Structures are given as C-alpha cells and as structure tokens.
Amino acid sequence: MKRMLSGIKPTGQLHLGNYIGALSKFVEYQDEYEVIAFIANLHTITVYQEPKELQKNLKDCVALYLACGLDPNKTTIFLQTDVMEHAQLGFILCCNTYMGELNRMTQYKDKIAKDEKNISCGIFTYPTLMSADILIYDADFVPVGEDQKQHVELCRDVAIRFNNKFGNTFKVPEPLIPKVGARIMSLSDPTKKMSKSDETNKGCVYLLDNLKTARKKIMSAVTDSIGIVQYDPENQPGISNLMQIMSSLSDKSFEEITKEYEGKGYGDFKKDVANVVCDTLEKIQADYNEIINSNKIQEALDIGTKKAKEMASKKLNEVQIKVGIEIK
Ligand code: ATP
Ligand code: LTN
C-alpha cells in the first residue's frame, strides 16, 4: 500500500480551505492508502502564538480531524512534538540544504517583501523541518494545497541530494495537488487565498462558525457584474471560487453547475452554495461536539503516536549511522 503524509498547522481555527484542499482529501484516501496525518505544532510557533489559544487550537484540530472523518484505526494521527525524531532529522537536513534554496521559498520571500519585522529563523528553515516530516516516513505522496507545492519540491531535492551523498536512504515523494479546490480563495477578496490569518474575518468560513454566520459570509461573497455563473477565474474570481466550493462539496462538475444556473441570478447560486456549505458544517460540528469532551482525542493520539514513533526512530537511526554521527 502506498503511503501518503500531510500535516496541518494548528495556527487558528481550521477553515473551509483546509477542509476542501486537505482534510477531505485525507478522508477520501484513507481506504486506498496508508495515511499519516499529523498536527504540525512545531511549524506553528515559527510565528508567535498565544500559548493558551494554541493549546485550545491543538485540541480542536485533533477533534476536527476526527469529526471530518479520519479514522484513527486507519489513519496515523499524532502531534509532531510527540515524535521528537522529526526535529532531530530536521536539523540534519538543515545541514544538507543551502541558504540559496531557502531564500527562494515564496512564503519566506513574501514576508521579506512585506517588510515584516522580526522574522524568526524558524520561518526561514521551516521547509527543512517539513522535509524531515515527510522523509522520516518514506512517504510516496504528499497531498497539499497549491501553496505548499514548492516546499514539497524542495523536499524532493533534499532527498535526492542526501541519497547521492550518503547512499539510498529516502524515498523521493510526489506532491499531490487536487484538481479542484487546491486554492480556495477569500470570500471578501477572491484574489487572495482563504486563510486563518484573515484580518476582517469575513472572507473565511471556519469549520466551527455558527451556521448563520457561515451563511451570511457566503451570501456577502464578492462577485462581479457579469451575471453568468461560469468558471473564469481571471474575470470572475469570486464566482469561480464559489463554483470550486460547490463542486468540491457536491461532486457536481463546473459544466453541470453552469447549466443548472443558466438564466438565474447570483442570489440563487449563492443560496445553494450556502446550503451545501452549511450541510457540511452541520455534520462536522455535530461530530465535533460529541468528540471534544470525550476521551476519543487521547485514544486517537495514543494509537497514532505509537505507530509513528516506531517508523520514525528506525529511519532516524539509519540516517545517523549513514551520516556518521552514531556509533554502529
Ligand atoms: P493558513 O494560510 O490558513 O494559515 P496554511 O496553508 O498556512 O493555512 P495549514 O493550516 O497547515 O497552513 O494548511 C493545511 C493544509 O490546507 C495545507 O495542505 C494547505 O495547502 C491547505 N490549505 C490551506 N489554505 C487553503 C486554501 N485556501 N485552499 C485550499 N487548500 C488550503
Ligand atoms: N508547511 C505546511 C504544513 C506542514 C506539512 C508538513 C504539510 C508541515 N509539515 C508535511 C505536508 C507535509 C503548511 O504550512 N501548510
């Protein structure tokens, strides 16, 4: 069985973009692949997080993994910090990655371009930790949204270099970008991706938003004056984004959606998108409410951590011997 691995940062509340671009895909894959879905809590602190809030988000994140349909008996779920081998391999890989490569990472470059102050060293080196997260499990595929493709490509380069230098050690993984839903855009500014760090809060539907709020956000989504429901991200980014959301959650193709709303206004379309979104949230929230105060969270983490540790410690041991930092 091929192995698939991905991580989500518990930076804030998970949103519809995370669900469509990542979580729902993990759920789909868990029967066909061996899925490893971890919580990237070390990556989270590359930007300061209020500790109490982070702890709440961590727990919510595991609960939402389960509420979205991940089955801990099929999918390996754990916190990155519970498997310390990630950080150790991260440092070893950092020593095998060039400054020039990290300088080219878009996420880092964006921060420099925005002239953000006090950018941490963690932000700069985090693609090497991400490489360790992936390579330590010999993952075949890494399902991520479009924004993470560059980091998976770096991971491939690092793996190939390491294999050439020290002998075949790591499997070279492939990114897996969904055809639809890889980049869900903000509802209030459809030229930007839907993000946890949305300042206005209007562009992002959180999985735990109450249904009235979620409906309102969809109904107020920015559209255009063209008046036709069709997929044209360049000229109709708002409508195209709503079509992506509808298509991902209902399995209708863009052609089917366009046909269905021919001659109808955007209001009807938005109402139906809101219905589909609210149906999805309602189901997730019902499961979340049942899970959040139960021992299902700890049980899932116990099973996942044990499995992950076993795999990770074996690989780290092999790497350390190859690099020469361990006595054989
Ligand atoms: P954010 O910008 O919301 O803080 P992120 O991409 O920085 O999110 P994560 O929460 O770790 O960080 O992302 C988890 C997964 O969700 C990744 O695979 C990412 O590519 C995907 N993802 C995040 N935002 C979107 C989006 N708007 N559309 C599709 N996929 C997304
Ligand atoms: N960097 C990713 C989260 C992440 C990840 C990973 C994704 C950390 N480690 C390993 C896939 C595989 C992000 O910011 N979304």
Contacts of 127 (CB under 8 A, 6+ apart): 97, 102, 105, 151, 154, 155
Rounded Cα distance, 278 and 272, in Å: 10
CATH superfamily name and code, 211-289: Tyrosyl-Transfer RNA Synthetase (1.10.240.10)
Rounded Cα distance, 323 and 175, in Å: 27
196 part of the active site: yes
pLDDT at position 165: 98
Q: Is the CB of 89 under 6 A from ligand 2?
A: no
314 part of the active site: no
Task: Tell me the pLDDT of the chain (328 aa) as tens digits.
Answer: 999 999 999 988 899 999 998 899 899 999 999 999 999 999 999 999 999 999 999 999 999 999 999 999 999 999 999 999 999 999 999 999 999 999 999 989 999 999 888 899 999 999 999 999 999 999 999 988 788 999 999 999 999 999 999 999 999 999 998 787 789 999 999 999 999 877 788 999 999 999 999 999 999 999 999 999 999 999 999 999 999 999 999 989 999 999 999 999 999 999 999 999 999 999 999 999 999 999 999 999 999 999 999 999 999 999 999 999 998 8
Alpha helices in 140-295 (DSSP H): 149-166, 211-219, 237-250, 254-260, 266-291
Residues 272-311 as b or e (16 or more Cβ within 10 Å = b) = bbbebbbebbeebbebbeebbeeebbeebbebbbebbeeb
271 part of the active site: no
Measuring CA to CA, which residue among 248, 109, 261 is closest to residue 185?
A: 248
Q: What are the sequence ranges of the domains in the chain?
A: 3-181+295-323, 211-289
Own/partner contacts of 209-213, CB < 8 Å, gap of 24 or more, are 209/281, 211/278, 211/281, 211/282
* Ligand 1, atom 14, residue with closest C-alpha: 8
Q: Are domains 3-181+295-323 and 211-289 of this chain identical in fold?
A: no
Residues with CB under 6 A from ligand 1: 6, 8-9, 11, 17-18, 20-22, 40, 144-145, 147-148, 182-184, 193-197
- Residue 245: how many CB atoms within 10 A of its CB? 27
Q: Domain 3-181+295-323 belongs to what architecture? A: 3-Layer(aba) Sandwich (3.40)
Q: Using alpha carbons only, what angle is made at residue 296 by residues 64 and 63, rounded to the nearest 5 degrees?
A: 10
Question: What six digits make up the tokens of 285?
Answer: 């929230």
Rounded Cα distance, 90 and 13, in Å: 26
Query: Which residue is catalytic, options 59, 74, 196, 296?
Result: 196
* Ligand 1, atom 30, residue with closest C-alpha: 21
pLDDT at position 180: 75
Query: Which residue is catalytic, options 111, 252, 296, 309?
Result: 111
* Ligand 1, atom 19, residue with closest C-alpha: 145
Rounded to the nearest angstrom, the distance between the alpha carbon of 89 and the centre of ligand 1 is 24
pLDDT at position 178: 79
pLDDT at position 201: 82
Q: Is the CB of 15 under 6 A from ligand 2?
A: no
Rounded Cα distance, 292 and 300, in Å: 12
**Cross-strand pairs, 15:** 206
pTM score of the predicted model: 0.92
